Amino acid sequence: MGIEGLHPSTGWKSYSKALKWQAIHAYLSGDYSLNEVIVTNGISSTSVLIKWIIKYNHGQNDGKAQAKEGSIQ
């Protein structure tokens, strides 16, 4: 990122639902670390991904990794 990383943010970055699902599943598969997932998918920080994972896990049924319809926005 270099010098561009020092510029102030111009606002919230939005992400598609498809990207959120892809990132969550990539991390939960155990094949990728939080940092690998955010860098690969252009996510602004690990805290953003962690929030998505918490929302995803909140929708679990019977301990299975299934989110409720529309629980990730």
Task: Count other Cβ atoms within 10 Å, centred on residue 56.
Answer: 21
Residue 63 included in any domain: yes
Alpha-carbon dihedral sign for residues 55, 58, 61, 62:
positive
Residue 21 included in any domain: yes
Residue 53 included in any domain: yes
Residue 20 included in any domain: yes
Give the chain's domain count.
1
Which residue range is the domain that position 26 belongs to? Answer: 15-73
Residue 4 included in any domain: no
Tokens representing residue 30 in the block: 């155990």
Higher-scoring residue by pLDDT: 16, 12: 16
Residue 3 included in any domain: no
Q: pLDDT value at position 19?
A: 96
Tens digits of residue pLDDT in 24-53: 999 999 999 999 999 999 999 999 999 999
Q: pLDDT value at position 1?
A: 59
The reported pTM is 0.68
Residue 5 included in any domain: no
Task: Count other Cβ atoms within 10 Å, centred on residue 65.
Answer: 14
First to last CA, the chain: 27
Residue 43 included in any domain: yes
